[in-house]
Amino acid sequence: MNISCLKNLDPSLQAMPNLDQVHALIQHYGPTVYFHPEETYLPSSVPWFFKNGALLYRFGKPGGEPINSTGSNLPSGGQNDGSYWIDLPQE
């Protein structure tokens, strides 16, 4: 389904859906995830993952450093040069 009005960034246009309509579209067409009742590995939020063990590793530097829960100390620049990666500590 192509809803071209959702690509428009001008909210003052009359054809733009209101927030309730956008939520209704998401509710109707958005994915639904079902988990097995005995599933032990449920998803977590990114801030939780950063606070609870994920480390930022840098190529050529031993060990990793903790990641700020907002991710503000992650490298930026929009390209993957393989110099950094996120992993769990090696124990």
Within-domain flag for 14: no
The pLDDT score that the predictor gives to residue 53 is: 86
Residue 46, in any domain of the structure: yes
pLDDT of residue 63: 87
Is 79 part of any domain?
A: no
Does any domain span residue 68?
yes
Q: Domain for residue 8, yes or no?
A: no
**Alpha-carbon gap, residue 63 to 40, rounded angstroms:** 29
What order of strands is seen across the sheet that includes strand 64-66? 64-66, 55-58, 84-87
56 belongs to a structural domain: yes
61-83-87 Cα angle (round to 5): 75
Compute the half-sphere exposure of residue 54: CA atoms within 13 Å on the CB side of its CA: 19
- How high is the pLDDT of residue 78? 79
Beta strand extents in the chain (DSSP E only)? 55-58, 64-66, 84-87
Mean pLDDT split into 10-residue runs, the chain, 91 residues: 62 74 88 93 90 92 90 87 88 65
pLDDT at 5: 62
According to DSSP, residue 84 is labeled E
Confidence at residue 37, expressed as pLDDT on a 0 to 100 scale: 95
Check: CB of residue 55 under 8 Å from CB of residue 88. Answer: yes
Range of the domain at 43: 32-72
How many domains does the chain divide into? 1
Does any domain span residue 60?
yes
In a domain, 63, yes or no: yes
